Structure 1
Amino acid sequence: MGQAFIVTKEHRRFSEFANAVRKEQTIGICHGDAGVGKTQSARRYANWDNLAPYIDKWGPRSDADAGFYALANRSRTVFYTPEVLPRPKDLVREIGHWQSMVNICVEEHQRAIGKITGPRSPGRTFVELLIIDEAERLTPMALELLRDQHDRTHLAIILIGMPGIDQRFRHYPQLYSRLGFSHHYRPLGRDELLFVLDRHWTRIGRTLDPEDFTDAQAIAAVERITRGNFRLLERLFPQIARVLKINQLETITDDVVEAAASILVIGD
């Protein structure tokens, strides 16, 4: 089991952005530094950590299916990460496979609640949004195929990448002219960092008090080391728990934070 998802302000901003792209049936770009939480937010929005393993297995039906069908119905979203230098035919086939599977799940839910009756229609589609992570990997031909699918089906698309990806798409006028929204996913600010740290302190059985001098020093050390990078925070705290356990310590100090950080490979 992974850690419980922490709903941050940046995640809420991403959800609002995704809802807008979906509602307007347009193409949007989400960009931000590595590790700020773009992928986690996108997977959360699509319920992908639950849906993808279920669809991958796709075994005999069970009583648990209804819950997954309801999840798919709520999200109506496919999350996809292309391979490095993906072949356009493979990309179209794989995305089509995920769309088909999510469609089946949504249709099963709609039938269960009585909104759909009668025979199945092969042309019926329920997926409203396609989120593509690591969009820098997409070749010009892949981008053109996605643009064509958007034009033909009005499928909303979000392309997630590093800062500057929006400038790269300027070189593809037909795609760029269809961009409706651009979202900058930012690192955690000071207040939000404290919110996240409070939950991390709680997870390892401690209570955070920003007014306490020792806690304030530890907070400052975390802030300096991570600079609000969500992924680095997630990597740092298991090491903090490890340092506390090995040394039989009860209090998270700046020395503990520094010792935990020394174990990690942290870029500039």
Structure 2
Amino acid sequence: MSIELLKAHIASTGMSQKQVGAQLGKSAAVVNQYLQGTYKGDVEGVDKAVAELAQRQQSKSADVSSDFIETPMASRTMQSCMFAHAMCDMQLIIGDAGLGKTMALKEYAARHSNVIMLEVDPTFSSKVLLAEISNALGLTVGRNNNAMMTAVIEKLKGSDRLLIVDEAELLTLNSLEILRRIHDKAGIGIVLAGMPRLRANLRGARGQYKQIYSRIGMVHDLKMRLPKDDIAMFCESALGTSEFNEVLNKVSQGNARRLNKLLRGINRLSVLNKAPVNKDMIDQFADRLID
């Protein structure tokens, strides 16, 4: 029984035996022997792990789609990218966490093959930034900052590329200066996206960012909440009805990330209870969300 479950799981996911083994906490060799019916170890333990894996997979299949939805706010975000791309300009996109910035930026990058998108980590130094851009361009010039900078600029000149940098509020002054010089010397468009403090960072307390801030052509401010129309599109796409738009708008507090957790949670409750979504389910799951 469990062997058939595992075979069905592999067939439906296209995973290798090594990948399935990682899910089960077993080696690829154990998975292979188990599938062949020749495993001499703890068969009952593997049976149990396979059954639990199948149950998790069934639960995941009840999840709401995470496909990109082109809401009005997402369209405006991508339009800012388009302006920066077409005009070889520097654009700023700012907004609170959970407004869907990153998904819209990734969608623009997915639709245009000549876009480089970087997601900044707190550990990013100027060397890491240059290395990431070099890697994205397929350059192998060692890890000397000057050599990487020269190679990046030469590669990008006349390329009509767009560089999108997400979480840009985490960048150091040196890293921002590098992006400014790449923009100036290579003549490409650059989008800096991040939290509202990114704009304050670029202004600088002592005018130290003046040269960078002067390059910003336009600022797209997503504000603090998703508009009602955007929330309605998410809700109707996930639930197939507009009945709960108002209550979900209120409970989500206009936050796309919070809304997504709500939609996923109530959809799971609906499947588990074998009943259509209702307000009690929304209230039940909303109580579990962190404010």
- The TM-score normalised by the length of structure 1 is 0.71
1:184 partner amino acid: D
Higher-Rg member (1/2): 2
What residue in structure 1 maps to residue 261 of structure 2? 235
1:180 paired with 2:217, answer: yes
1:190 to 214, 223, 228: 228
1:261 paired with 2:286, answer: yes
Q: Any residues of structure 2 matched to 1:181-220 within 5 Å, and which?
A: 181-186=218-223, 187-202=225-240, 208=241, 210=242, 215=243, 218-220=244-246
**Contact 1:43–1:79 (8 Å) recurs in 2:** yes
Following superposition, the deviation at residue 249 of structure 1 comes to 1.9
2:194 partner amino acid: G
1:86 paired with 2:112, answer: no
Following superposition, the deviation at residue 22 of structure 1 comes to 1.4
1:142 paired with 2:175, answer: yes
What is the distance in 2 between the residues matched to 1:39 and 1:159?
A: 11
What is the distance in 2 between the residues matched to 1:176 and 1:98?
A: 26
**Contact 1:243–1:259 (8 Å) recurs in 2:** no
Q: Any residues of structure 2 matched to 1:10-89 within 5 Å, and which?
A: 10-47=73-110, 74-89=112-127
What is the distance in 2 between the residues matched to 1:224 and 1:25?
A: 40
Sequence identity (%)? 29
What is the distance in 1 between the residues matched to 2:185 and 2:157?
A: 14
Structure 1 vs Structure 2 CA RMSD: 2.2
- The TM-score normalised by the length of structure 2 is 0.66
Query: Unaligned stretches of 5+ in structure 1?
Result: 48-70, 102-120, 203-207
**Contact 2:156–2:188 (8 Å) recurs in 1:** no
What is the distance in 2 between the residues matched to 1:224 and 1:233?
A: 10
**Contact 2:157–2:186 (8 Å) recurs in 1:** no
Q: How many residue pairs end up in the alignment? A: 209
Query: Unaligned stretches of 5+ in structure 2?
Result: 1-12, 14-64, 140-153
Following superposition, the deviation at residue 85 of structure 1 comes to 3.5
**Contact 1:28–1:182 (8 Å) recurs in 2:** yes
Distance 1:193 1:87, change over 3 A: closer
Following superposition, the deviation at residue 220 of structure 1 comes to 2.8
2:235 partner amino acid: L
What SS is found at the alignment partner of 1:40? Answer: helix
Following superposition, the deviation at residue 238 of structure 1 comes to 1.5
Q: Any residues of structure 2 matched to 1:123-162 within 5 Å, and which?
A: 126=159, 128-162=161-195
**Contact 1:78–1:130 (8 Å) recurs in 2:** yes
Following superposition, the deviation at residue 127 of structure 1 comes to 5.3
**Contact 1:34–1:162 (8 Å) recurs in 2:** yes
What SS is found at the alignment partner of 1:220? Answer: helix
Moved over 6 A (4+): 121-124
Distance 1:123 1:229, change over 3 A: closer
1:21 partner amino acid: A
2:285 partner amino acid: A
Distance 1:27 1:124, change over 3 A: closer
1:91 partner amino acid: L
Deviations 1:67-113 (A, max 9, x none): xxxx6xx3411110122131211210111211338xxxxxxxxxxxx
**Contact 1:134–1:161 (8 Å) recurs in 2:** yes
1:247 paired with 2:284, answer: no
What is the distance in 1 between the residues matched to 2:130 and 2:202?
A: 20
What is the distance in 2 between the residues matched to 1:80 and 1:231?
A: 21
**Contact 2:163–2:191 (8 Å) recurs in 1:** yes
